[in-house]
């Protein structure tokens, strides 16, 4: 890659973070959490202290099944952001993802912007690369990139919506599934396949499971809209700013197929609890942690709200939360029905 090109990646990365922090970059259509409510339990017969939200992720114990999902790295200002997020995850016992590490593959001097182990020696850490880049770099180079930052797993991100809306986007999407299969087989670390805000369908989840993905992160519609971010940069008419599968629908659709992380429009610990009751094993978010003045405080509040939702739904632990009764109405129930999922099964269990 030319020097001009790697400079472009760097400035695009900082443009993205700036837009995400300061501009209206979220979907107008919701992720669906307003359509989902727990059946309140007025007789929980347990103490708040006794609520156990802990969960195992990538062989490590989390104090709650929460992930600060991948956002940044690859330009000078990103190091401070990543270290702050990592310190929050370490202090609260959560997991964290790094942003796309393509920049450090192109310019090894940028590797330091992804190195967070000094702030977070014990957390499960997820490295990141784009599906479009897999064939270019190959398994060996990506494995050494992951070892360099001491990651426990690789997230391969799929972002066709963003790429087609980005003037300088990579518009070659053929052969990605086969590459995911090669990485899942040869990398020697778990492969998580994630979207970046437009969601994963059941059909795609089946294909990814077959290819050997250990897990998916649905990253559904309703949170950060990457087409909106690109429209802000290009000034084009925002035709596809609400394109995608809403997060709640994705969770209901995919979690029976493959172990699922829920992200995309989760904005507090109650949304995280609803995600798990809908079938996800873990819940994550990006924008709320990027925007938080104090990400550690934000993480602590998510955990607290998750535990309150557990108590009030009579769920002592995560296994019980997965079976808690939910009433699903509105657009989310309608979408589920059209996709062949009976929303009332969540209320009657």
Ligand X SMILES: Cc1cc2nc3c(=O)[nH]c(=O)nc-3n(C[C@H](O)[C@H](O)[C@H](O)COP(=O)(O)O)c2cc1C
- Please report how close the Cβ of residue 4 comes to ligand X at its closest, in angstroms: 21
Give, in degrees to the nearest 5, the angle at Cα 319 between 122 and 56. 15
Task: Rule CB under 6 A: say whether 71 interacts with ligand X.
Answer: yes
Interaction with ligand X in 94-153: which residues (CB under 6 A)?
A: 99-100, 128
Write out the two tokens for 269.
Answer: 């610990």
Q: How far apart are CA 251 and CA 278, in angstroms?
A: 6
Beta bridge partners of 347: none
d(CA 238, CA 171): 18
The span from the CA of 264 to the CA of 247, in Å, is 6
Least Cβ distance, residue 159 to ligand X (angstroms): 7
Out of 199, 265, 314, 343, the only residue in the binding site for ligand X (CB under 6 A) is 265
Q: Is 166 in the site for ligand X (CB under 6 A)?
A: no
Stretch 11-40 residues interacting with ligand X (CB under 6 A): 16-17, 20
For 40-146, strand residue ranges (E) read 55-57, 60-62, 66-68, 95-97, 125-130
Cβ closest to ligand X, residue 112 vs residue 320 = 112
The reply on whether position 84 binds ligand X by CB under 6 A is no
Beta carbon nearer to ligand X, 33 or 346: 33
Q: Which stretch binds ligand X (CB under 6 A): 39-47, 206-214, 279-287, 316-324?
A: 279-287
> What is the nearest approach in angstroms of ligand X to the Cβ of residue 161?
12
Residue 251 per-residue DSSP state: H
Question: Interface with ligand X includes 224 (CB under 6 A)?
Answer: yes
Token readout for 332 is 């989310």
- Dihedral pair phi/psi, residue 45, rounded to 5°: 50, 45
Tokens of 254: 């995919």
CB of 239 vs ligand X, minimal distance in Å: 20
Based on CB atoms, which residue is closest to ligand X, 74 or 314?
74
**Binding-site size, ligand X (CB under 6 A):** 26
Cα 131 from chain centroid (whole Å): 15
Residue nearest to ligand X (CB): 223
Phi, psi of 26 (to 5 degrees): -100, 155
Only one of the segments 253-261, 264-272, 310-318, 334-342 lies at the binding site for ligand X (rule: CB under 6 A); that segment is: 264-272
C-alpha dist (Å) from residue 296 to 224, 236, 324? 21, 37, 28
Nearer to ligand X, 21 or 61 (CB): 21
Q: Which is nearer to ligand X, 69 or 145 (CB)?
A: 69
Three-state SS for 162?
helix
Binding of ligand X by 69 (CB under 6 A): yes
Which among 342, 286, 283 is positioned nearest to 309, based on CA atoms?
283
Closest distance to ligand X from the beta carbon of 69 (Å): 4
CA proximity to 200, closest of 270, 165, 154, 248: 248
* 124, 197, 199, 269: residue in contact with ligand X (rule CB under 6 A): 197
Contacts with ligand X, residue ranges (CB under 6 A): 16-17, 20, 69-72, 99-100, 128, 155, 157, 194, 196-197, 219, 223-224, 263-266, 285-287, 290
């Amino acid at each position: 890659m030319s020097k001009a090109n790697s400079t472009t990646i760097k400035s695009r990365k900082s443009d993205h973070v700036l837009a995400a922090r300061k501009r209206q970059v979220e979907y107008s259509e919701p992720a669906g959490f307003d359509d989902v409510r727990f059946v309140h339990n007025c007789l929980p017969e347990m103490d708040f202290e006794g609520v156990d939200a802990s969960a195992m992720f990538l062989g490590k114990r989390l104090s709650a099944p929460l992930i600060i999902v991948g956002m940044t790295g690859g330009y000078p200002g990103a190091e401070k952001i990543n270290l702050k997020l990592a310190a929050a995850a370490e202090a609260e016992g959560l997991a964290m993802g790094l942003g796309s590490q393509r920049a450090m593959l192109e310019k090894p001097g940028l590797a330091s912007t992804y190195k967070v182990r000094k702030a977070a020696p014990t957390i499960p850490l997820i490295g990141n690369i784009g599906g479009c880049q897999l064939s270019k770099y190959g398994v060996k180079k990506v494995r050494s990139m992951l070892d360099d930052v001491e990651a426990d797993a690789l997230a391969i991100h799929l972002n066709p919506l963003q790429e087609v809306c980005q003037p300088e986007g990579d518009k070659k999407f053929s052969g990605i599934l086969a590459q995911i299969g090669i990485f899942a087989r040869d990398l020697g670390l778990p492969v998580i396949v994630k979207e970046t805000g437009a969601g994963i369908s059941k059909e795609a989840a089946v294909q990814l499971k077959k290819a050997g993905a250990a897990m998916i992160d649905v990253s559904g519609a309703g949170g950060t809209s990457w087409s909106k971010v690109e429209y802000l940069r290009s000034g084009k008419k925002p035709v596809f700013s609400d394109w995608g599968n809403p997060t709640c629908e994705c969770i209901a659709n995919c979690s029976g197929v493959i172990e699922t992380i829920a992200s995309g429009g989760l904005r507090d610990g109650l949304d995280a609890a609803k995600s798990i009751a809908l079938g996800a094993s873990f819940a994550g978010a990006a924008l709320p942690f990027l925007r938080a003045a104090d990400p550690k405080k934000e993480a602590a509040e998510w955990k607290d709200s998750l535990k309150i939702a557990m108590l009030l739904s009579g769920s002592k632990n995560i296994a019980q939360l997965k079976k808690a009764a939910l009433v699903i109405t509105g657009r989310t129930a309608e979408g589920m029905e059209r996709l062949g999922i009976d929303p009332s099964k969540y209320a009657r269990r």
